Amino acid sequence: MENKIQLLKNLKGAGVWLMDASIIGINGLSEPAKTNILLHSWKNHTGPRIKSFSPNLKHIIVIGNGVEKTLRNEIERSGIEHSTIPQPNARLTGGYSSKHYKTCSEICSKFQN
């Protein structure tokens, strides 16, 4: 647990924030329930929090195609560029590709000072 906490502190120090799109766990819920919770979370917590960051965010990496589908319009209205990668536990043909990790690394590297 201490290693995870240190990793998160290191990421934060590098300007990388990890934030869940939902304020509660939604795995296993119906799609309409997931959509409602994601939109409520964005409007009342996640969106305002993201907009309050200083300096302003330059890019959001959305993890999960369903999350991106639900929040795409909200994110675009925020004016923040975004990319999407599948969830690491997604059932993908051939397994989870290292290209998704590479995508994250390339995006983060692009914004380093």
Q: 97: pLDDT confidence band, cut at 50, 70 and 90?
A: confident
* Cβ atoms of 109 and 101 closer than 8 Å: no
Is 10 a member of any domain? no
Is 4 a member of any domain? no
Question: Could you read off the pLDDT of 19-50 as tens digits, one per residue?
Answer: 889 999 998 999 999 999 999 999 999 999 98
Rounded Cα distance between 86 and 80, Å, is 19
Is 3 a member of any domain? no
Question: Could you read off the pLDDT of 46-75 as tens digits, one per residue?
Answer: 999 988 987 788 888 898 889 999 999 999
Residues 6+ apart with CB under 8 A from 102: none
Q: 113: pLDDT confidence band, cut at 50, 70 and 90?
A: low
Is 38 a member of any domain? yes
Residue range of the domain that includes 66: 18-110
Is 99 a member of any domain? yes
* Cβ atoms of 46 and 19 closer than 8 Å: yes
Is 76 a member of any domain? yes
Domains in the chain, number: 1
Q: 4: pLDDT confidence band, cut at 50, 70 and 90?
A: confident
Is 56 a member of any domain? yes
Is 2 a member of any domain? no
For the chain, give the number of residues.
Answer: 113
Rounded Cα distance between 77 and 73, Å, is 6
